[in-house]
Amino acid sequence: MLGHAMISVLTDPDFTREEWQGMTAAERVALCHVLAREAAQLAGAAAGERREGYRKIAAQWNTLAAEIEDSARERPTRTGV
């Protein structure tokens, strides 16, 4: 289930870095995966260069999720940036 901050970023174009910073590492990881899935779905419906662009965006969201997870394991008490 999506938390309030995660719903905000999906529905509010004015989502801020303060909202991102207020999320836990687990919430950030989950959000990154949601955004990666959205980009992958867009890739499936796109053609040509846009398809590849969406695939790259999906990969970048998944990479960010992995980096956040790694950072959280290294510093479990820090919320991260």
Q: Is residue 31 part of a domain?
A: yes
pLDDT digits (tens, 9 = 90+) for 39-55: 999 999 999 999 999 99
**CB count in 10 Å sphere of residue 44:** 10
Task: Tell me the backbone φ, ψ of residue 68, rounded to 5 degrees.
Answer: -65, -45
Of 46, 49, 38, nearest to 2 (Cα)?
A: 38
Q: Is residue 60 part of a domain?
A: yes
Domain, as residue range, for 67:
4-74
Q: How many domains would you assign to the chain?
A: 1
Q: Is residue 80 part of a domain?
A: no
What is the pLDDT at residue 19? 86
Q: Is residue 54 part of a domain?
A: yes
Task: Tell me the backbone φ, ψ of residue 7, rounded to 5 degrees.
Answer: -65, -40
Residue ranges in the chain assigned as alpha helix (H) = 4-11, 17-21, 25-45, 48-74
Q: Is residue 23 part of a domain?
A: yes
Q: Is residue 79 part of a domain?
A: no
What is the pLDDT at residue 12? 75
Q: Is residue 47 part of a domain?
A: yes
